[in-house]
Amino acid sequence: MTTRTKNAESERVGGHGSKFGQKKEAAIAALLSQRNHEEAARAAGVSKRTLNRWLKLPEFQSAYLEARRAAMFQANARLQQASSAAVSTLVKVMVDPSSPASARVRAADCILVRGNQGLENEDYDVRLAALERAAGSAKFSEGFLGSRDDERDRQKNKAA
């Protein structure tokens, strides 16, 4: 038995409230691991129509986005762990006289480009932090000055 209300988020399958949450979790996992929505729906044990309806629900979108971010966080962590070995490989190719010249040039270019990108990112971080501090100080000053201006206006009104 399915009961529907005007609000799609409050849709429930009678007697299966906990299953509904488990199915949504399974659908999110399937969306992360399958090639397309049709395969994800099949893997999660729901229809493609149901999956498409869930994908329109804000709570489902939020959970799906959180799961995608968690997956990318793990992938990025693995990339960072492997970055030292990757740099070592690039350096070995770059300095190995038996490597083709094109490979040595490509390795050198990659090292230079990535090194400059790292510096730019650090610069952006420093500049962003300075802007955030300045914006925080400006908000504080506005609030402080605003309260002084309010007090001045109250005193003028009393005098008038």
Does the pTM exceed 0.85? Answer: no
The values of phi and psi at residue 66, to 5°, are -60, -40
Q: Where are the domains of the chain?
A: 1-84, 96-160
Measured between alpha carbons, how far is 22 from 25 in angstroms, rounded to an integer? Answer: 5
What is the predicted pLDDT for the residue at 24? Answer: 96
C-alpha triplet 37, 24, 18: angle, nearest 5°: 155
Average pLDDT, the chain: 85
> What tens digit of pLDDT does each residue of 70-116 get?
999 999 999 999 999 999 999 999 999 999 999 999 999 999 999 99
Q: Return contacts of 111-120, CB within 8 angstroms, 24+ apart.
A: 111/87
> What tens digit of pLDDT does each residue of 108-142 get?
999 999 999 999 999 999 999 999 999 988 776 66
Coil vs helix vs strand at 160: coil
> What tens digit of pLDDT does each residue of 24-35 get?
999 999 999 999
CB 71 within 8 A of CB 32: yes
CB atoms within 10 A of CB 54: 24
Q: Is the model's pLDDT at 11 over the cut of 50? A: no
